[in-house]
Chains A and B, each alone.
Chain A
Amino acid sequence: EVQLVESGGGLVQPGGSLRLSCAASGFSFSSYGMNWVRQAPGKGLEWLSYISSSSTTVYFADSVKGRLTISRDNAKNSLYLQMNSLRDEDTAVYYCARRIAVAPYYFDFWGQGTLVTVSS
């Protein structure tokens, strides 16, 4: 069974940093590109970042470029999101999502999300 479990969320002050993790199981993690998607309270889905299976390709949304770093450790079946210079508007539930291996690309499995609250 495919499972994605996010962790690392919590309360952080504006300007602070946080590192989110996503633990994958039930599939060959090293064969899939992975993504981070967030959802602010009462708002829609916002894609943040993608990393290819071998980490050779990464993409970021313009809204977060320069403040977020995506990485993965295939030996540990884990995906990470390093978030710096956090702002109030970064308050959201953060999901990791698996991208299918062959185009057309979509997200076939999602984690349950981890809540990040940016507040003083």
Chain B
Amino acid sequence: SYVLTQPPSVSVAPGQTAGITCGASYIGTKSVHWYQQKPGQAPVLVVYDDSDRPSGIPERFSGSNSGNTATLTITRVEAGDEADYYCQVWDTSSDHPVLFGGGTKLTVL
């Protein structure tokens, strides 16, 4: 079965750049979406279709997707970016179409 693999944790100092990966076979052929979830809150979409940002999401959030890895990049990281981040794909050819990655805890040092 298709599995999206994320590192459990990523740590970064304020002002630096954080990269959170989502790995899977040929994921570059799929559209990947990213959600941010802070404690006690619902997930919020931060990047869709690999690299697009919803309105209201800072330009510091960007995404890329190629080969076997999709990446969410957060530049100039702030304390308020500390959260769990999840990647997601929707496989239209499957009757179990939705996959989430296991999530990555971003810690701002």
Partner of B42, one of A35, A104, A112: A112
**In the complex, are the beta carbons of B43 and A45 less than 8 A apart?**
yes
Known: A44-B86, A45-B103, A108-B54. A103 touches B92 (CB 8 A): yes
Report if B59 contacts A (CB, 8 A).
no
In the complex, the chain A residue whose C-beta lies closest to that of B34 is A106
Closest Cβ–Cβ distance, residue A17 to chain B (whole Å): 24
Partner of B45, one of A37, A44, A95, A108: A108
A113 partner residues in chain B, CB cutoff 8 A = 42
Bound CA–CA A86/B48 (angstroms): 34
**Chain B, 70-86, contact with A by CB distance < 8 Å: what is the 0/1 string?**
00000000000000101
Question: A61 to B96, Cβ gap below 8 A?
Answer: yes
- Encode contact with B along A86-114: 1 for CB under 8 Å, 0 otherwise: 00000000010001000111111011110
Flag whether A80 is at the interface (Cβ < 8 A).
Answer: no
Quick check: A110 and B42 within 8 Å, CB to CB?
A: yes
User: A47 touching B33 by the CB < 8 A rule?
Assistant: no
B100 contacts A44, C-beta separation under 8 Å: yes
Q: 0/1 per residue, B34-73, Cβ < 8 Å to A? A: 0101000111110011000010000000000000000000
- Name A105's contact: one of B42, B54, B84, B90 (CB within 8 Å): B90
Judge if A59 is at the interface, Cβ distance under 8 Å. yes
> Inter-chain contact count A-B, CB under 8 Å?
66
Q: Which of A44, A47, A108 contacts B98 (CB 8 A)?
A: A47
* Chain A: minimal CB distance from B46 (Å): 11
The contact of A47 among B41, B92, B99, by CB within 8 Å, is B99
**Contact indicator B98/A50 (Cβ below 8 Å):** yes
Asked whether, in the complex, the Cβ of B48 is within 8 Å of the Cβ of A104, the reply is yes
Determine the chain B residues whose CB is within 8 A of the CB of A50 once the complex forms. 97-98
Contacting residues, chain A, for B35 (C-beta < 8 A):
45, 107
Residues of A within 8 A of B (CB): 35, 37, 44-47, 50, 59-62, 95, 99, 103-108, 110-113
Q: Interface residues, chain B, CB within 8 Å of chain A? A: 30-31, 33, 35, 37, 41-45, 48-49, 54, 84, 86, 88, 90, 92, 95-103
